[in-house]
Every structure is written in C-alpha cells, then in structure tokens.
Structure 1
Amino acid sequence: MGIFGAIGIAQTGLTLHRTWLDAVSDNLANLSTVRPTSEDAFRARYVVAQETPGAEGGVQVAGVQLGDATGRLVYEPDNPLADETGYVRYPDIDMSSQMAQLIMAQRGYQANAAVVDRAKETYQAALQIGRS
C-alpha cells in the first residue's frame, strides 16, 4: 500500500456506499408505483459488493440484483390502472427493510468519509513535521 493507500481504500468504500444509497433511494421512491396487472411491478434494486481483487484492498460493486417482478396484487377497483377484476400491481418492497438499509449505507458512507478526513489530517501533519 502506498502513502495514500488509506484514502484509496476509503474511496472505494465511498463509491460502494453511494451506489447503495442510490439504489435504496430509488426503491423507496418507487414504493407506491402502481402498474396494471398485465405489466411487471417495479423491481427493487439490491447492490452486490465484493472485495477488490489485488493487494491494494477495498471494495467494489459486483453488480445489482433486481427484485421480484411479480410484486403484489392489491384490490383497488377505483384505480384507473385496475384490471376488469379491480386489481393493480405494486412492488414487493418492505419499507422498514429499506429504511434499515438506508441507515447502514449512510453510516458506511460517513465512516469512509471520516477515514479520508483523518488520513488527510495525518498527511498534513507529517508534512508540517517535515517542514520544521
């Protein structure tokens, strides 16, 4: 690991947690998206993380998995998208689970940002010692 290794590793964490925050935010924003029963429901996005290959360390986004397209059928006969039996399709997304994931992703992002700040302060202190 080079002199700026801590910042590089924390940067990979920031990128991963930012992607996770974006996915959870998208899921929460589409929690009430209604579709006709003839269409697929909104598919939740789940970020898959993996260790960065090589000796440098860090993490990366391995991909994004999509949730179930079946969703859940809800009886809403007054909805303009309802079929002839009165049903519409909603995504099968659990709000409490998404909120928990949002908190975890936010805390992970904050922790990696703090590592960048501390490493920067340490490097600046080392430069000041070198100037003295």
Structure 2
Amino acid sequence: MTIFGAIGIASTGLTVHRKWLDAVSDNLANVSTVRSTSEEAFKQKYVIAAETAGENQGVHVAGTLEGSGEGRLVYEPDHPLADEQGYVRYPDVDMSSQMTQLIMAQRGYQANAAVVDRAKETYQAALQIGRI
C-alpha cells in the first residue's frame, strides 16, 4: 500500500464517521421533540457502514435506517399538543446510548484523521530525503 492509498482509505473512514456523527447529533437534538399522539415520534437515524470491495479500498455508508415512530407516550395534560387523555408523544431515543455512540464516532474520526496526518508527515519526510 502506498502513502496515498493510506490517505484514501483513511478519508473513507473520515466520511463514514462524519455521517455517523451527523446522525447521532440529529438524534440528540431531537431527544425532547414533542408530537401529538396522532403523529409519529421523531425516528432515530442509524448509519450502516460497509467495506468497499474492489480496487478502491476502504468503507462507505451503505445506507441509513430509521427507528420506530411509535415513541413513548408521556402524560402532560398542560402541554398544548396533549390529546384528550393528556398524553403527548416523545421519541424513544436513549440519551446514554446516543452519547456512547457519539464518543465512538468521535474517536473513530480522530483515529482516521491521525492516519492522514501520519501519512502526510511520512510523505513530507520522503521528499526531504530527495533534497539532500
């Protein structure tokens, strides 16, 4: 594998981890989104990563999935969106699970960025050897 190959593979990892971070941040931003019981709750987003086969090595986002729109019913009779029984619908997003996902995606992004930095430094060192 060449230095450029390492940069290319790491850049695919950066893209996947960035999209994972986007999905998690969207989930966290909507953890308290309230809807009426006649509507679906906010649906969590999940990123599906897959290995890139063939000549272009790395990973890619194979797709995204959405969670259930069922959510959870909460009794809040004073809420403007409450139904006749006093219930509103919140998304079924677990904050601790999302924070764990956020940390994992962030660490993966940082690791891929470090690979790009190391490959760049190696390439620059090789150019310096040629100048001597």
Question: For residue 83 of structure 1, what is the aligned residue in structure 2?
Answer: 83
Matches within 5 A, 1:39-118: 39-118=39-118
Question: For residue 124 of structure 2, what is the aligned residue in structure 1?
Answer: 124
Contact 2:50 2:62 in 1 (8 A): yes
**Separation of aligned partners in 1, 2:30 and 2:56:** 37
Shift of 1:57: 1.8
Deviations along 1:64-116, whole A, 9 cap, x unmatched?
Answer: 10011000000100000000000000000000000000000000000000000
Structure 1 runs, 4 residues or longer, greater than 4 Å off: none
Question: For residue 38 of structure 1, what is the aligned residue in structure 2?
Answer: 38
- 3-state SS of paired residue (2:107): helix
After the TM superposition, which of the residue ranges 31-40 and 51-60 deviates more from structure 2?
A: 51-60
Shift of 1:41: 0.2
Question: For residue 11 of structure 1, what is the aligned residue in structure 2?
Answer: 11
- 3-state SS of paired residue (2:54): coil
Structure 1 residues not aligned, in runs of 5+:
none
TM-score when scaled to structure 1?
0.97
**Separation of aligned partners in 2, 1:71 and 1:36:** 11
**Separation of aligned partners in 2, 1:93 and 1:53:** 33
CA RMSD between the two structures: 0.9
Shift of 1:3: 4.2
Number of residue pairs matched by the alignment: 132
Matches within 5 A, 1:21-32: 21-32=21-32
Contact 2:6 2:115 in 1 (8 A): yes
Contact 2:17 2:105 in 1 (8 A): yes
**Separation of aligned partners in 1, 2:116 and 2:3:** 13
Shift of 1:19: 0.2
